[in-house]
């Protein structure tokens, strides 16, 4: 108990106290001239749930976060599986190369995507060169650009999380399934995937939270045609100086993210428990 006390104090100071302060701010009243005025009013939450624009922003954020999480799982699982089962002497180098993008800021990576997806960028140049399109198509400042950029940011987190779990799976279990006549696909769906569900849950929860709170990538790649919750919060607090409504948006984003992450984690772990008991 005494060993957990310092960590508990840090959690309270870093997470709980700011969340309570945000909640208090969200109940204040905003005036254009006087800015934030002390009050106890739910008007900011009523504004959010009664204006379709902000509900659409939340819906867009959920859709993009869910899609990026699914894509990172689909593309990350084969890479994590290959790394986990690899006995190559270059395995450490491959892991370093995987971690290296995490050392580069999101703004720099988003700028790279802007160069690739622009009208005169690399992707459009290839499409025109091979005759797929007659003229450059609009790829930048679209939901597609945001999905690609965000998935690229969170993919290493998914791979590293899955790899740590897959390395704990006993190879003899897969070999036993193959010796009993199961194909690779049958072994994967009946043995590997069920046993890796804890890693899937952990990786998906981590990636989903990162996607829900993404800022630089949606702003730089989505432009004005796509608004997600984090840029909307910045607009209210940083530009409009509407701290009460910005605090309400932040708390709503926090609660929705936690509820979705915990719910998906519970569903995956419940399925894992049923699989282990079967």
b (16+ CB within 10 A) / e for 133-163: eeeeeebbbbbebbbbbbbbbbbbbbbbbbb
Cβ atoms of 169 and 250 within 8 Å: the answer is no
Enumerate the domain spans of the chain.
Answer: 22-277
Cβ atoms of 153 and 109 within 8 Å: the answer is yes
Q: What is the pLDDT of residues 80-96, one digit of tens each?
A: 998 988 888 888 888 88
Q: Is the pLDDT of residue 2 over 70?
A: no
Can you give the pLDDT at residue 255? 93
Chain-wide mean pLDDT for the chain? 88
Q: What is the pLDDT of residues 118-154, one digit of tens each?
A: 888 889 999 998 888 888 899 999 999 999 999 999 9
- Sign of the CA dihedral with 51 first, then 54, 57, and 62 last: negative
Which residue shows structure tokens 């689909």? 74
Residue 156 backbone phi and psi in degrees, to 5:
-60, -35
Cβ atoms of 197 and 163 within 8 Å: the answer is no
Query: Is residue 117 very low, low, confident or very high in pLDDT (cuts 50, 70, 90)?
Result: very high
Q: Is the pLDDT of residue 278 over 70?
A: no
Q: For the residues 198-202, what does the mean pLDDT come to?
A: 89
pTM of the model: 0.90
Q: Is the pLDDT of residue 64 over 90?
A: yes
Query: Is residue 212 very low, low, confident or very high in pLDDT (cuts 50, 70, 90)?
Result: very high
Q: Is the pLDDT of residue 77 over 70?
A: yes
DSSP calls for 231-271: HHHHIIIIIS--HHHHHHHHHHHHHHHHHHHHHHHHHHHHH
Residues 224, 211: Cα–Cα separation, whole Å: 19
CATH superfamily to which 22-277 belongs: MetI-like (1.10.3720.10)
Cβ atoms of 115 and 121 within 8 Å: the answer is yes
């Amino acid at each position: 108990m005494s060993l957990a006390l310092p960590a508990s104090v840090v959690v309270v100071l870093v997470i709980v106290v700011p969340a309570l302060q945000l909640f208090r701010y969200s109940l204040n009243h905003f005036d254009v001239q006087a800015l934030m005025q002390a009050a106890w009013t739910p008007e900011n939450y009523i504004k959010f749930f009664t204006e379709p624009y902000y509900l659409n922003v939340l819906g867009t954020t959920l859709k993009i976060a869910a899609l990026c999480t699914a894509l990172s799982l689909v593309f990350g699982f084969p890479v994590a599986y290959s790394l986990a089962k690899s006995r190559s002497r270059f395995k450490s180098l491959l892991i370093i190369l995987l971690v290296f993008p995490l050392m580069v800021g999101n703004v720099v990576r988003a700028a790279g995507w802007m160069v690739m997806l622009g009208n005169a960028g690399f992707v459009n140049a290839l499409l025109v060169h091979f005759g797929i399109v007659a003229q450059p198509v609009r790829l930048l400042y679209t939901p597609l650009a945001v999905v690609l950029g965000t998935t690229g940011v969170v993919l290493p987190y998914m791979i590293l999380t899955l790899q740590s779990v897959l390395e704990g799976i006993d190879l003899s279990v897969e070999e036993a399934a193959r010796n009993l006549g199961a194909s690779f696909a049958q072994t994967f769906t009946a043995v590997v995937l069920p046993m890796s569900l804890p890693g899937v849950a952990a990786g998906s929860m981590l990636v989903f939270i990162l996607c829900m709170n993404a800022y630089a990538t949606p702003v730089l790649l989505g432009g004005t045609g796509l608004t997600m919750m984090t840029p909307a919060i910045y607009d209210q607090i940083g530009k409009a100086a509407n701290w009460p409504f910005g605090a309400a948006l932040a708390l709503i984003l926090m609660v929705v993210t936690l509820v979705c992450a915990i719910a998906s984690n519970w569903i995956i772990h419940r399925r894992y428990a049923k699989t282990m008991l079967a």
